[in-house]
Amino acid sequence: MKLSTNFVKDYVDIDVDVKKLAEDMTNVGNEYDAAGPFIPATNLVIGEVLECTMHPDSDHLHVCKVDVGKEVLQIVCGAPNVRAGLKVIVALAGAELPGGVKIKKGNIRGQESNGMICSIAELGLESKFLKPEDKEGIHELPKEAKVGEDPIAYMEMKDDVIDFDLTANRGDLLSILGMAYEIAAIYDKKVKPIELSYKDTKEDVNDSFKVEIHTKNCPIFLAKKVENVVIKESPAFIKNRLMASGIRPINNVVDISNYVMLETGQPLHYYDADTLKGKLEVRMAKDQEKLTTLDNIERTLSSEDIVISDGEKAIGLAGVMGGLDTEITENTKNIIIESAIFDAVHIRKTAKEILRSEASSRFEKGLDPNRTYMAIERSCHLLEKYADATIVGGLVKQDTTSLEDTKITITFSKINQVLGTKVPQEEVLNVFRRLGFTYEVKEDTILVSVPKRRIDISIPEDLIEEVGRIYGVNNIEGRLPALPIKAGSYDKRTRKLRNKMIDLGLNETLSYILVNEKEAKDFTCDDTEIAKLLAPMTEERNTLRHSILPSLIKIYEYNKAHSQKDISIFEIGKAFYKMGEDYGEENKIAVLMTGEFYLGMHKTAVDFYVLKGIAEEMLDFLGYAGRYSFVTNKEMPKEFHPGQSAAISVNNDIVGYMGRVHPAKVKEAVFVLEINLDKLFSKKVGKMKYKEISKYPSVKKDLAFIVAKEVTAEEIAKSIKKAAGSLLLGSEVFDVYTGAGIEEGKKSIAYTLELGANDRTLTDEEINGVLEKVIIALEKQGATIRK
Amino acid sequence: MKEQIEEMKTKALDAIAKAENEKQLEEVRVTYLGKKGELTAILRGMGALSPEERPVVGSQVNVVRDTLESKIKEKEEQFKQEELNRKLKEETIDITLPATKVKRGSKHPMNRIIEEVEDLFVSMGYDVVDGPELETDEYCFERLNLPKGHPARDMQDSFYVTTEYLLRTQTSAVQARVMMKNEEKTPIRVICPGKVYRRDDDATHSHQFGQVEGLVIDKDISLADLKGTLEVFVKKMLGENSVLRFRPSYFPFTEPSYEVDVSCFKCGGKGCNLCKQTGWIEILGSGMVHPNVLKMNGYDPEKYTGFAFGTGLDRLAMFKYGITDIRLLYQNDIRFLKQFDRMD
């Protein structure tokens, strides 16, 4: 809402700087984007062109002698319409024009020039308000303009404008009167009454005109008829105030409808009475009903839109925009004025789907029916005054609203309890008085009567807000709440996991969860569906990811494109799915590693085993040591390399997948892992316990076996463990070999076994016994011991 | 006899002083103090002395022996020290050669901020809670006093998946979750950090961003309590010199509602390009929990009051680390990520 301060001064006497007013309004909750003069140009003066000759060195420039009152200046001017005898706007040296233009004394192609003769556009009037002649040349002031005076004042354009960014609840401030009440409350002033008087004829409009309401979405509809209007240009003050408020002037009648809407907040519609058939109807539109609006666009309506009909067809989109067929034209003589309220929710929906207008933005926020009456009276007053209208007697009226004040009971103690203050009673009452609310006090209780114009106020808390606002929230002393001391809690496990991954040398990322539909299910294989947006901003981000890995692949690609080859990253976040009609989300951790990996002082090329090491360290850290395995006999997501990937199983339940990304997807060696943390954490972990350290030394023995290539290290490890029994403390692979000396289709795999006991040093017989058992067990499975 | 011993002592001391290494010193020791040494010989020859002379000579010999032993020891120490110094010199390295890297990973700046906020509020007895990001219209809007068709819904254009499910536009959605989950309707003190989503994407807005919500419900909670709490929060996060300004505003789920500005930390309030010459930067939305919200989620507004606040985490991270482009937070350039590897 752009507020013309000239306009509001009609209703409240203030004399404050525009910046101060804007700041004071901000402090009571009405933020602004900009505040400053309507015409942001300085150092202007009315001048008269005394002489005008062609510039000797130019085919379009003129050299002018301009009388600016105190002196006669030579000014070079390029406008085609500059000529001797013209009254013009001169920007003197030192003037600042919008867009950072500074006027200096200078020299244009050898001719001295001491200022600039201006067009209206150069003064900063918005282009939508410019007439064709304003764009072509300098502004021509009337002959009567006095040389040496301020042209802005002469044109009645001296005004300051504040562009407010209002909150959604303060629909009342979308009017000059609402602003006047707010400003009056801040500075403790009275709001001046609005002039509504006019003469009307003895006829009754109800004898010739009917209004029918066929929907509950129109609680009040008033109509009045005026006759014999003279369509002409509006007086300057109306045009300038409209422009300062952001509305383009058209003619006196249309301008008055907009002017009254600005004043009262009540949108109006004026119909050319001679295009109507003696009545107006309010009803819901039929599905697919067509209507051509004022802007000459054919709209297709639905049964959710409210329309005005002439009894046969829709002639206006209620609360949004009138129809083309019944609009006010140059030839209009008689007018039907509509002043009505339409249901906010329906208007909002229509406005969102079809068109948002000055009118709809007011209906959407709700209106005061008192203003519905006021606006129609004010229209008559101004049409009589500025359009020579004859006002037909009587008012067509369909009204189910209440005009009464809203009564709210509150106590002084509740106000002070919620604010945490000790505001004295008289100060509280003072706030209500300044806001124009009346009240009755009975001990601690106040019965407050809130005028309908403040439709945002309906409950006691709203009144507390008003007290806080006007008393000044920054006058309230802050304190920490006096609450019992207790220990706060947070998700330690996730944070510890994050820190562990960082300790492992990985860099944490944060990526967008919205991805392309095509990749949303990558790296997963389950029977869920994807969750897709109804109205995405771009196709690239139209679906919620089911895995974090597509996001990490994108990060990999981004970094690769920026010549970063060594990437070891992880992310903890949510992944989403659809299951039947329900939607769900899961916490996951994803890791991506490629290039070289630095851990501590060690630097190595990332392969499957590096990632496996990360996976194991992570699972061990989380307490799952000994409960997980990497299995290859399960169905794998197709984005993994079939020969270098595994499902991660904890307690025989698949919690995630890891491995190399399928070369068809990424040709470089990129390794990824993802674990469903909700699934993993559902498996309980016992407390960490100290394990006794043996006082007796252990021994290490190496054994190498030749086995078929297909036999996995894990199978051999399991057999060793089973055969060796409790004296085996651990086993480790130290060599895997194929090639010379080893038969085709076989491999050699060498283990170091660590043997020991807590209560004794093992004897040679014991050690050899264990080794013997291991060898026999493995030989049974087809292995041969390598000597 | 006495003169003879004195003479020997002078000779011996001279020899000790002249010894150039441990070997020569050992030779001196053997010459005088060894089993066949000169001093030992004198002691051995004591039997030939008269009973009167014996103690006198004996004590003189002992004194000389002690003197020589201590001098030798001193000299030995000196040699050891010299040897050590030589060795240390030999072992001297060029410490300006590059270090062996012992790099660990790094934490994303957004999570650094989240952890900092969590730690602060946990220390004041708040619980950190989590809620769904794919939320229902009911929890995201309706239970927060934002029925369908409410004009304030325009403030946050949403990503719907169905007419009922949407990506949450605000962490406030967790407010209703926490209130509904608390079946005994006992006091609440929580914060909820997390991701939120809005249909908005330009140089200063990202369609996905971080927010933290705070909610306190108890008896006699007031606006003054909210002010005090936010003062602590903002000062801890942005510096003790920060000044807060409360501006009345409107949110459907709080009444009264306030937006909170902080004095510009770049210019200190004088006005600069960061604060658009206003001296203030808007950082928080807050207010007293609307009685309808309390009621809808099972709390009696006659018995309880509460406050709630919410703030954007991206901006906090950007302010804190001087990040000028919000997109950096989501681009995940490894050269960016690796910078966040030290304590604050």
Kindly report, residue by residue over A436-473, the tens digit of the pLDDT.
Answer: 999 999 999 999 999 999 999 999 999 999 999 999 88
What percent of chain A is modeled with pLDDT above 90?
Answer: 82
Residue A86 banded pLDDT, cuts 50, 70, 90: very high
A328 bridge partner residues: none
CB A54 within 8 A of CB A178: no
pLDDT at residue A758 greater than cutoff 90: no
Which pLDDT score, from 0 to 100, does residue A127 have?
86
Which pLDDT score, from 0 to 100, does residue B156 have?
60
53-92 of B, contacting A, C-beta below 8 A:
none
214-233 of B, contacting A, C-beta below 8 A:
216, 218, 220-232
Q: Which of B161, B231, B259, B339 to probe by mutation at the A interface, max A CB count within 10 Å?
A: B161
Taking an 8 Å cut-off on Cβ atoms, the answer to whether B337 and A508 are in contact is yes
Which residues of chain B neighbour A464 with C-beta distances below 8 Å? 255-256, 288
Q: How far apart are alpha carbons B108 and B102 in whole angstroms?
A: 20
Distances, alpha carbon B183 to alpha carbons A4, A608, B159, B302, in Å: 53, 49, 31, 18
Residue A781 banded pLDDT, cuts 50, 70, 90: confident
Residue B203 banded pLDDT, cuts 50, 70, 90: low
Taking an 8 Å cut-off on Cβ atoms, the answer to whether B118 and A490 are in contact is yes
* Residue B80 DSSP code: H
Q: Residue range B54-59: average pLDDT?
A: 84
Chain B: residue nearest A366 by CA?
B151
Residue B175 banded pLDDT, cuts 50, 70, 90: very high
CB atoms within 10 A of CB B173: 26
Q: Residue range A134-157: average pLDDT?
A: 92
CB pairs under 8 A between A and B: 247
Which pLDDT score, from 0 to 100, does residue B315 have?
87
Chain B: residue nearest A495 by CA?
B115
Q: How far apart are alpha carbons B7 and A688 in whole angstroms?
A: 78
DSSP string, A66-114: EE-SS-EEEEEE--TT--TT-EEEEEETT-EETTTEE---EEETTEEE-
Separation of first and last alpha carbons in chain B: 81
Q: How far is CA A602 from the centre of its chain?
A: 47
Q: How far apart are alpha carbons B266 and A487 in whole angstroms?
A: 35
Taking an 8 Å cut-off on Cβ atoms, the answer to whether A513 and B133 are in contact is yes
Instruction: Give the E-state strand segments of chain B in sequence order.
Output: 127-128, 134-136, 165-167, 188-197, 208-218, 244-251, 254-263, 280-289, 305-312
Taking an 8 Å cut-off on Cβ atoms, the answer to whether A481 and B111 are in contact is no
Chain A contact for B155, CB < 8 A? Answer: yes
Residue B202 banded pLDDT, cuts 50, 70, 90: low
Give the closest of B201, B227, B247 to A31, CB-based: B247
Q: Which of A465, A558, A560, A586 to probe by mutation at the B interface, max B CB count within 10 Å?
A: A465
Q: Which of B58, B55, B72 is nearest to B19 (CA)?
A: B72
Could you tell me the two tokens for B181? 């989950």
Residue B201 banded pLDDT, cuts 50, 70, 90: low
Shortest distance, CA B88 to any CA of chain A (angstroms): 27
The pLDDT tens digits of the residues spanning A637-657 come to 999 999 999 999 999 999 999
B208: helix, strand or coil: strand
pLDDT at residue B270 greater than cutoff 90: no
Taking an 8 Å cut-off on Cβ atoms, the answer to whether B104 and A502 are in contact is yes
The pLDDT tens digits of the residues spanning B214-250 come to 999 999 999 999 999 999 999 999 989 999 999 999 9
Which pLDDT score, from 0 to 100, does residue A228 have?
96
* Residue A181 DSSP code: H
Percentages helix, strand, coil for chain B (3-state, rounded to 5) are 45, 20, 35
- Amino acid identity of A14? I
What percent of chain B is modeled with pLDDT above 90?
Answer: 56
Which pLDDT score, from 0 to 100, does residue A139 have?
93
Q: Which of B107, B108, B234 to probe by mutation at the A interface, max A CB count within 10 Å?
A: B108
Chain B contact for A473, CB < 8 A? Answer: yes
Residue B50 banded pLDDT, cuts 50, 70, 90: confident
Burial B306-317 (b: 16+ CB within 10 A, else e): bbbbbbbbbbbb
Residue A46 dihedral angles phi and psi, to the nearest 5°: -80, 130
* Residue B161 DSSP code: S
In sequence order, the 6+-apart residues with CB closer than 8 A to the CB of A421 are A415, A471, A476, A477, B222, B223, B224
Which residues of chain B neighbour A504 with C-beta distances below 8 Å? 104-105
In sequence order, the 6+-apart residues with CB closer than 8 A to the CB of B157 are B198, B199, B200
Give the closest of B133, B249, B331 to A167, CB-based: B249
pLDDT at residue B205 greater than cutoff 80: no
* Residue A275 DSSP code: G
284-343 of B, contacting A, C-beta below 8 A:
288, 290-291, 305, 329-335, 337-338
Chain A: residue nearest B258 by CA?
A29
Q: How far apart are alpha carbons A150 and A153 in whole angstroms?
A: 6
Question: What residue spans of A281-440 are helical by DSSP H?
Answer: 344-353, 358-363, 369-386, 412-419, 425-434
Task: Output the CA torsion sign for A246, A250, A255, A257.
Answer: negative
Q: Residue range B43-67: average pLDDT?
A: 84
pLDDT at residue B154 greater than cutoff 70: no
A638 bridge partner residues: none
Taking an 8 Å cut-off on Cβ atoms, the answer to whether A508 and B108 are in contact is yes
Q: Residue range A220-226: average pLDDT?
A: 96
Give the closest of B107, B257, B338 to A498, CB-based: B107
Could you tell me the two tokens for A496? 């510890």
What percent of chain A is modeled with pLDDT above 70?
Answer: 100
Taking an 8 Å cut-off on Cβ atoms, the answer to whether B228 and A480 are in contact is yes
Pairing of strands A298-300, A507-508: unpaired
Min mean pLDDT across A507-521, B162-176, B185-199, B259-273 is at B259-273
Which pLDDT score, from 0 to 100, does residue B231 have?
95
Chain B contact for A167, CB < 8 A? Answer: yes
Could you tell me the two tokens for A507? 């860099």
pLDDT at residue A374 greater than cutoff 80: yes
Which residues of chain A neighbour B165 with C-beta distances below 8 Å? 531, 583
pLDDT at residue A242 greater than cutoff 70: yes
Q: Which of A291, A298, A297, A337 is nearest to A316 (CA)?
A: A291
Residue A397 banded pLDDT, cuts 50, 70, 90: very high
Which pLDDT score, from 0 to 100, does residue A713 have?
87
Which residues of chain B neighbour A485 with C-beta distances below 8 Å? 125
Chain B contact for A544, CB < 8 A? Answer: yes
Which residues of chain A neighbour B226 with C-beta distances below 8 Å? 478
Taking an 8 Å cut-off on Cβ atoms, the answer to whether A27 and B115 are in contact is no
Which pLDDT score, from 0 to 100, does residue A621 have?
96
Could you give all domains of chain A from N- to C-terminal order, each with its CATH number? 2-38+160-187 (3.30.56.10), 44-154 (2.40.50.140), 205-399 (3.50.40.10), 406-468 (3.30.56.10), 492-681 (3.30.930.10), 699-785 (3.30.70.380)
Residue A20 banded pLDDT, cuts 50, 70, 90: very high
What length is written for chain B?
Answer: 344
Which pLDDT score, from 0 to 100, does residue A124 have?
87
Pairing of strands A210-213, A279-284: parallel
Could you tell me the two tokens for A264? 């009262």
Q: How far apart are alpha carbons B208 and A456 in whole angstroms?
A: 32
Residue A23 banded pLDDT, cuts 50, 70, 90: very high
Residue A768 banded pLDDT, cuts 50, 70, 90: very high
* Continuous segment of H or E residues that includes residue A106: strand A106-108
Taking an 8 Å cut-off on Cβ atoms, the answer to whether B108 and A480 are in contact is no
CB A704 within 8 A of CB A735: yes
Chain B contact for A490, CB < 8 A? Answer: yes
CB A269 within 8 A of CB A276: no
Q: How far apart are alpha carbons B68 and B13 in whole angstroms?
A: 7
267-326 of A, contacting B, C-beta below 8 A:
none
Chain B contact for A598, CB < 8 A? Answer: yes
Give the closest of B134, B330, B338 to A585, CB-based: B134
Give the closest of A481, A488, A541 to B122, CB-based: A488
Which pLDDT score, from 0 to 100, does residue B8 have?
86
CB B240 within 8 A of CB B324: no
Min mean pLDDT across A55-59, A251-255, A519-523, B273-277 is at B273-277
176-195 of B, contacting A, C-beta below 8 A:
187, 189, 195
Pairing of strands A728-737, A746-755: antiparallel
Cα angle value B98/B101/B104 (rounded, 5°): 150
Taking an 8 Å cut-off on Cβ atoms, the answer to whether B207 and A574 are in contact is no
Which pLDDT score, from 0 to 100, does residue A90 have?
94
CB A341 within 8 A of CB A286: no
Residue B115 banded pLDDT, cuts 50, 70, 90: very high
Residue B98 banded pLDDT, cuts 50, 70, 90: confident
Give the closest of B128, B161, B330 to A533, CB-based: B161
- The half-sphere exposure of A682 on its side-chain side, counting CA atoms within 13 A, is 11
pLDDT at residue B265 greater than cutoff 80: no
Chain A: residue nearest B114 by CA?
A495
Shortest distance, CA B90 to any CA of chain A (angstroms): 27
Taking an 8 Å cut-off on Cβ atoms, the answer to whether B247 and A531 are in contact is no
A658: helix, strand or coil: strand
Q: How far apart are alpha carbons A284 and A305 in whole angstroms?
A: 6
Average pLDDT, chain A: 93
Q: How far apart are alpha carbons A430 and A743 in whole angstroms?
A: 102
Q: How far is CA A251 from the centre of its chain?
A: 37
ipTM computed for the complex: 0.85
Reduce the secondary structure of A23-68 to three states and give it as a string: HHHHHCCCEEEEEEECCCCCCEEEEEEEEEEECCCCCCCEEEEEEC
Q: How far apart are alpha carbons A127 and A568 in whole angstroms?
A: 55
Chain B: residue nearest A415 by CA?
B222
Q: How far apart are alpha carbons A402 and A172 in whole angstroms?
A: 17
Which residues of chain B neighbour A477 with C-beta distances below 8 Å? 224, 227
The pLDDT tens digits of the residues spanning A276-322 come to 999 999 999 999 999 999 899 999 999 999 999 998 999 999 999 99
Which residues of chain B neighbour A532 with C-beta distances below 8 Å? 161
Average pLDDT, chain B: 90
Taking an 8 Å cut-off on Cβ atoms, the answer to whether B333 and A479 are in contact is no
Could you tell me the two tokens for A653? 């339940």
CB A222 within 8 A of CB A397: yes
Give the closest of A487, A511, A576 to B332, CB-based: A511
The pLDDT tens digits of the residues spanning A609-633 come to 999 999 999 999 999 998 999 998 7
Which pLDDT score, from 0 to 100, does residue B337 have?
96
pLDDT at residue B155 greater than cutoff 70: no
